[in-house]
Structure 1
């Protein structure tokens, strides 16, 4: 194929072909012709694979490493099980297959079932234990994402090795409660370009897997689920925050970090406080966990979100109050319980009204006709 000497190409395929020629043959960096992520991957791959014309071999790691990888990533696999099954249904009418890898790029899960007539790489590249890291198979979307922790798309001839250029792939990262890369979700198609936005699809499912993993890894946390609309709270767009018993924000998913205007919390020694970013002390925020419906909450940054809270125990289970009215007890012959003190009655009233006011201390104070200081004193007493 005759390639033009200028950047005005007839097709994306021609553009990538020219980029390869300039990079691999002329030694010129074709900036703007392919993504920066692909260019950097090509550069890394050349250091260990000087001849991109050689075919890549999709080989599994050793049997002992496969066992170790599956054991080490059991929690990720459990979090991904339902979403992989949904992906299998979602992709059933397409040429796409989903793969889940560990942080190093080793395949630990796949939706692949049976090869189509034109597929040769898919049956071998989707096997459990196959290493999709750059060092093994060159430039691919799962390889780039495992290396950089960033979402990536690699199409056709953007792949490093010649025999892999029939592939089209899009990958998204999955992170754990410490903000570390926990795994990579990839969509791949052999021989046929995606007929849909694969990057959006894989990002959607990766976010849901990440949210499930974050909740599973939370122990003795108050987990806040937030969004600008209550309809989004049970979707992959939900913003999640893990709050410790001393009132610090221990972890955030990406959506929560953006809504709260907070950077990464996992590696920070000074964890941001609940009151600074939610506008409520921990006890007031925790009181909202008794609500059966999402509650509106105005943040200190001025944004009003809908929020639902749940306590997570060490076994990863959800601890919630019943979502249905408390049944009326049957008549009992047992002696009636002693009445609670006036102070306790007052405290219960403050907590109840505060919950009804969505955690807004000022509104609760106006409703009760008391000072905000009185409400804060009751909340502090609850914490003590």
Structure 2
């Protein structure tokens, strides 16, 4: 069968199909045997995958080897994805704990489809295919094992599910999988989170579960890769901050938005392609100094975006050495007395300038880098505490060792402290 023959003009009358299995069987018959496009019987993502696979895999009934990559490539892959594995560790453990009573397996692949993490407990005997595929180092990309959910995500960057006979190779027709992408600060695919089961159905909404955990891992990765960025957390409701539904934005030292997560893009709009169009004043309606002042407040603050949408915001400025510069704009000269609590609606109605301005917080200078501001902050903090490193470290919320390494690096004439 050639792809040129795929079409709908001469398609035979469809047989009556009532169940998902019957619809997939009919779709396979039309596509693989009759050479017509089975529109409406399977999802477009699956159909496009079948078309890609048919160009490279002629025999759908052959035995797929599921061989791992070479040891040298695996070593390089694990080293290259160390940061991804580190930020995902907590969520993978939580996900596996939730699924402990099922036969499902959690799989994390790199952007090329090589498995870098899998549920430690091996698949049971009644899942022979999963026992072969769910191993670190196995390449489950579309190029190797045909149509699967993680394979489609690696090829398209879009979340999907693949059920039973929707898999390209016959050997996988007892599998069910759901996968979602994880992206980095550059918007590129960093990995794929997958949930797979064999010889049974999920029994729950696996696609939603994978999407939530993939989003949480992605949010952690974005923040881990954002040294010397001002991180903004924002949402229409303050109760959504700190959840997978929060919007995140990374603000660079020049006052441009370096990246947005998915929720942030839905609230603000997707970033323009050109960096000179990504200014915070244009997209958020506030300058960098005003946003930095928000970082001095522990609780979420109301803010009105350039679009007129009211959101709640928390800000955090983290230096390249891990210091949380919550007080980077100005050191507190006196103990602040908290204002009386107000209803959220009343706070949102306050003037935005009142929310952003602070009598003891001068605006952050526009010139210089965040690294320069961090050094100035450390020096001022030490001076305020009479050179007491322990007290300064507590003020900056870092360990004394981190602060000593920073000071030592300046004495040696380097910009960044060495590793301990």
1:140 aligns with 2:148: yes
Quick one: distance in 2 between partners of 1:107 and 1:257?
29
For 2:220, which of 203, 212, 223 is the aligned residue? Answer: 212
Does the C-alpha gap of structure 1 residues 317 and 191 become closer, same or farther in structure 2, counting only changes over 3 Å? Answer: farther
Q: Which residue of 2 aligns with 1:46?
A: 54
Deviation at residue 356 of structure 1 after TM alignment: 12
Q: Which residue of 2 aligns with 1:235?
A: 243
CA RMSD of aligned residues (A): 2.7
Larger RCO (CA within 8 A; separation ≥ 6): 1
Quick one: distance in 2 between partners of 1:125 and 1:317?
42
Does the C-alpha gap of structure 1 residues 359 and 73 become closer, same or farther in structure 2, counting only changes over 3 Å? Answer: farther
1:64 aligns with 2:56: no
For 2:284, which of 267, 278, 282 is the aligned residue? Answer: 278
Does the C-alpha gap of structure 1 residues 148 and 278 become closer, same or farther in structure 2, counting only changes over 3 Å? Answer: same
Does the C-alpha gap of structure 1 residues 127 and 319 become closer, same or farther in structure 2, counting only changes over 3 Å? Answer: farther
Quick one: distance in 2 between partners of 1:115 and 1:66?
22
Q: Which residue of 1 aligns with 2:136?
A: 128
Q: Which residue of 2 aligns with 1:222?
A: 230
Does the C-alpha gap of structure 1 residues 234 and 79 become closer, same or farther in structure 2, counting only changes over 3 Å? Answer: same
Q: Which residue of 2 aligns with 1:352?
A: none
Quick one: distance in 1 between partners of 2:284 and 2:30?
53
**1:307 partner SS:** strand
1:360 aligns with 2:352: yes
Q: Which residue of 1 aligns with 2:400?
A: none
Are the aligned partners of 2:115 and 2:140 in contact in 1 as well (CA < 8 Å)? yes
1:290 aligns with 2:304: no
Does the C-alpha gap of structure 1 residues 284 and 150 become closer, same or farther in structure 2, counting only changes over 3 Å? Answer: same
Normalised TM-score (structure 1): 0.83
Deviation at residue 275 of structure 1 after TM alignment: 1.1
Quick one: distance in 1 between partners of 2:21 and 2:224?
43
Q: Which residue of 1 aligns with 2:28?
A: 20
Are the aligned partners of 2:103 and 2:123 in contact in 1 as well (CA < 8 Å)? no
**1:319 partner SS:** coil
Q: Which residue of 2 aligns with 1:314?
A: 320
Gaps of 5+ in 1: 330-354, 369-374
Quick one: distance in 2 between partners of 1:52 and 1:242?
46
Quick one: distance in 2 between partners of 1:55 and 1:229?
52
**2:36 partner SS:** coil
Are the aligned partners of 2:302 and 2:348 in contact in 1 as well (CA < 8 Å)? no
**1:171 partner SS:** strand
1:153 aligns with 2:161: yes
Deviation at residue 58 of structure 1 after TM alignment: 1.2
Q: Please list, as runs of the form range in 1=range in 2, the aligned pairs for 1:240-251 lying within 5 A after superposition.
A: 240-251=248-259
**2:217 partner SS:** helix
Quick one: distance in 2 between partners of 1:27 and 1:272?
48
**2:211 partner SS:** helix
Deviation at residue 283 of structure 1 after TM alignment: 0.5
Are the aligned partners of 1:7 and 1:15 in contact in 2 as well (CA < 8 Å)? no
Deviation at residue 360 of structure 1 after TM alignment: 1.6
Are the aligned partners of 1:168 and 1:194 in contact in 2 as well (CA < 8 Å)? yes
Quick one: distance in 2 between partners of 1:359 and 1:183?
43
Does the C-alpha gap of structure 1 residues 76 and 271 become closer, same or farther in structure 2, counting only changes over 3 Å? Answer: farther
Are the aligned partners of 2:302 and 2:355 in contact in 1 as well (CA < 8 Å)? no
Deviation at residue 316 of structure 1 after TM alignment: 4.8
The number of residue pairs the alignment matches comes to 342
Are the aligned partners of 2:302 and 2:312 in contact in 1 as well (CA < 8 Å)? yes
Are the aligned partners of 2:91 and 2:217 in contact in 1 as well (CA < 8 Å)? yes
Does the C-alpha gap of structure 1 residues 364 and 145 become closer, same or farther in structure 2, counting only changes over 3 Å? Answer: closer
Deviation at residue 117 of structure 1 after TM alignment: 3.4
Q: Deviations over 1:242-276 (max 9, x none)?
A: 00111110111111011012x245x5343511111
Deviation at residue 327 of structure 1 after TM alignment: 12
Which moves more between the two structures, 278-287 or 268-277? 268-277
**2:295 partner SS:** helix
Normalised TM-score (structure 2): 0.76
Are the aligned partners of 1:57 and 1:136 in contact in 2 as well (CA < 8 Å)? no
